[in-house]
Amino acid sequence: MKVAARDLVRNVVKEKLARDEVALSMTVRLVRTAEIVTIAKTAGFDTFYIDLEHSTLSIESAAQICMTAMNAEIAPFVRLPNLSPDVIARILDGGALGVIAPHVESAEQARQVVRAAKFPPLGERSHGGVLPHMGFRSLPSSEVGQAVNDATMVVIMIETKEALAAIDEIAAIDGVDLLFIGTNDLCASLGIPGQFEHEMIRDAYSRGMAACRKHGKHLGVGGLNSHPKLVAQFVEMGARYVSAGTDISFLLSAASAKAAVMRDL
């Protein structure tokens, strides 16, 4: 029985965004094994991103987690440790359905990420053989390239004043799917560290939303997991991807609450 490549890979985040629904994400920084996939799914998340920028996790660990996620209807993303094309290729070949690119401050940098993440004709990603996305089946490279391109998301972080200044040009790049505002770092870059309710931050989200609507892209909210009212405001504005917190913060919060209860017995 012939299997079509497009039927083997799907990205639930892309599907939710296409329906104008909110995709809820968590961040993996601590857990190094595939159990985190089932935990995230059971908890109600649509996706997670493995943070290779701010953790000591390896690409090998990330790949094992990503491959498990593909059979659990939860989309595995990876935040890149850098923008090196070979790193992007290895992460995607390992099973990720999206890359989150930090420290992008220009349209040209965003374009370089797309080139590395997408197969021709949209990019320059090399076909390295069978992929976990296809169940390691040997299928025509033209079919695989199209199917994986369609399922793979390129997420560009907006976390500096330079990126904010170039936000419209970044959103215009073909192959960029989502602009993800790193609110904490953006506050620091704008000279207002920790002032999440500052007018400059509201303006940043407004500009991001305008750029996304203009170019048919989506907006994401990051760094505000302790400020749900602000998240709600930005979702009302039109943001449809929300990062809700890290495995470390979830574990510490639950453990602290339980310890406090037990101490009072």
- Residues 196/198/203/205 CA torsion (nearest 10 deg): 10
Q: Please state whether 193 falls in left (phi above 0), alpha (psi between -120 and 50) or beta.
A: beta
**pLDDT tens digits along 68-100:** 998 899 999 999 999 999 999 999 999 999 999
Domains of the chain, earliest start first: 5-263 (3.20.20.60)
**pLDDT tens digits along 14-47:** 999 999 999 999 999 999 999 999 999 999 999 9
Global pTM reads 0.96
**pLDDT tens digits along 113-142:** 999 999 999 999 999 889 999 999 999 998
Q: What is the mean pLDDT of residues 168-197?
A: 98
- Catalytic residue selected from 54, 133, 218, 227: 54
Task: Clarify whether 127 is annotated catalytic.
Answer: no
pLDDT attached to residue 1 = 64
**pLDDT confidence band for 3 (50 / 70 / 90):** confident
pLDDT averaged over every residue in the chain? 96
- State the amino acid at position 38 in one-letter form: T
Tokens of 54: 């701010």
